Amino acid sequence: MLRNKRLFPVVVVGLLVALGTWLARDRDAEGPAPLAEDEARTDAYVRGATVLSADAAGNWQYELRSPRMAHYPVDGVWILTAPEVTFFRADGPDWDGHAEQGRVWDDRDEAELIGDVELDRPAAPDMPWIEVRTRDLRIQPERGYAETAAPTQMRQPSGTLSGTGARFYLNEERIELLSNVKGHYEPVP
């Protein structure tokens, strides 16, 4: 009886080691998909990423989400797939945005939303909703600032404005269209 009590832990440990080896071998057989030539230059991938940033007082500044991020060390850049960003505001509604692709540098306090970019801010009691459509937006999230040289269209309940190039001062609720500005006013009942 004493011999069986000593043998039981040894058998359990042996079975656990065998099971672990079998599972590891099975997982290695499938392995990750082969890398494309461009992906082979990366040194890190992140899936389902969320980055939150706060100021020195602990107030949230922005949140950046992406289903996939890849780091390219030679260029010192992260490439983001379908990034989404929220700019938090203490005194008004938050701004939400998304793009086809994004880029964040290792050594800079800025990022780019690449391709078609949409920025939206919901209505608040004292301000209407606003939708902005543009391309290739360079953002400085800590400052709540963004800019583009691309055609930009803004839409609100009272009408639309369009122009070429824009500066966004999100913390101030101010947007400047830089040239070729056209507008259409629709009276709100």
Quick one: what percent of the chain has pLDDT higher than 70?
78
CA–CA dist 174, 128 (Å, integer): 13
Measure the CA angle with vertex 44, ends 40 and 47; round to 5°: 110
pLDDT above 60: residue 23? no
Q: Which one, of 129, 176, 189, lies nearest residue 149 by Cα?
A: 176
Least confident of 11-15, 41-45, 116-120: 11-15
Q: Please provide the DSSP assignment of 36-85 as one string.
A: PTTGGG-SEEEEEEEEEEE-TTS-EEEEEEEEEEEEETTTTEEEEES-EE
Residue 5's pLDDT band (cuts 50, 70, 90): low
pLDDT above 90: residue 75? no
pTM of structure: 0.73
CA–CA dist 28, 39 (Å, integer): 20
CB 109 within 8 A of CB 120: no
Digit-coded pLDDT (tens) for 98-132: 999 999 988 878 899 999 999 999 998 888 999 99
